[in-house]
Amino acid sequence: MRILLVEDEKTLSGYIAKGLQNSGYAVDAVYDGEEALYEYAVNGYDLIVLDLNLPKKDGLDVLREIRRKDVNIKILILSARSAVDDRIIGLDEGANDYLVKPFDFGELEARIRNLLRREFSQIPTTVTLGLLSLDTKSKQVSYDGTEINLTRKEYGILEYLMIHKNQVVSAEEMTEHVWNHTFDPFSNTFRYHIHSLKKKLHTVSALDCIKTVRGQGYVMEDKA
Ligand code: CA
């Protein structure tokens, strides 16, 4: 899952970005409202964490502009503006959630998880496919009860494929949601990670859980 983090306080931004990355999210951090709109326009995000007091363009204007174009993207406002009126305005303008600073990182993460679950509304905390089970909260994966140790990127790829089971997903789509803008589309990085993921799954299950569809992408089929 890929998150755009719009927060001009660099220390706070670094702290949030690091925490979210440790939880397996791909995070792009920007520091003003104009940059936020630019990154939003060129990348595919699953969720935006948006501060309101921002240089160049106010967070509420950013929110309005994005909402005009996109009714589906999840937007969580993270702001020091704590008055009820501010919260009402934020939610009325289309934010999905509003968290007041100072905040607890665990709560921010729980709210992000909750919003992303609503986006993929069929997805509970635990996603299963055959004997394969993935916990979107603890980021743990197991096959028939045996835990599989995955890297963050491997986990991200697997989660995306399991959430989109029975659909062929292209490498481009997955890299868009699993990597941030430091990803080099001409590198072999994606192939390296998916190969390693397939190998780990094969070792524990003796099955090719992820099928390659030549020229199109990858699919995980639910045979049940
Ligand atoms: Ca600010």
Cα angle: 99, vertex 139, 115; to 5 degrees: 30
Express each pLDDT in 114-145 by its tens digit: 998 876 655 567 889 999 999 988 889 999 99
Express each pLDDT in 161-177 by its tens digit: 998 999 999 988 888 88
Q: In angstroms, rounded to a whole number, what is the distance separating the alpha carbons of residues 84 and 74? A: 21
Query: Token digits for 182?
Result: 């430091």
The reply to whether 224 falls in a domain is: no
Q: In sequence order, what are the beta bridge partners of 50?
A: 6, 77
The reply to whether 151 falls in a domain is: yes
Give the count of domains, the chain. Answer: 2
93 and 186 belong to one structural domain: no
The reply to whether 164 falls in a domain is: yes
Is 187 a residue whose pLDDT tops 80?
Answer: no
The CATH number covering residue 21 comes to 3.40.50.2300
Q: Which domain holds residue 83?
A: 2-119
- In angstroms, what is the span from residue 78 Cα to ligand 1's centroid? 9
Query: Token digits for 63?
Result: 């929110």
The pLDDT assigned to 72 comes to 86
Short-list 152, 143, 146, CA closest to 220: 143
| End residue of a domain, out of 76, 94, 119 | 119
Q: In angstroms, rounded to a whole number, what is the distance separating the alpha carbons of residues 20 and 35? A: 20
The CATH number covering residue 193 comes to 1.10.10.10
Express each pLDDT in 54-101 by its tens digit: 999 999 999 999 999 888 899 999 999 888 888 888 888 999 999 999
Any idea of the CA torsion for 98, 101, 104, 106, to the nearest 10 degrees?
30
Q: In angstroms, rounded to a whole number, what is the distance separating the alpha carbons of residues 164 and 173? A: 11
- In angstroms, what is the span from residue 156 Cα to ligand 1's centroid? 30
- In angstroms, what is the span from residue 34 Cα to ligand 1's centroid? 14
Instruction: Report every protein residue that has its C-beta within 5 angstroms of ion ligand 1.
Output: 8, 51, 53
Give this prediction's pTM.
Answer: 0.70
89 and 163 belong to one structural domain: no
What whole-number percentage of the chain has pLDDT above 90? 67
The reply to whether 94 falls in a domain is: yes
The reply to whether 13 falls in a domain is: yes
Check: CB of residue 158 under 8 Å from CB of residue 121: no
The pLDDT assigned to 63 comes to 96
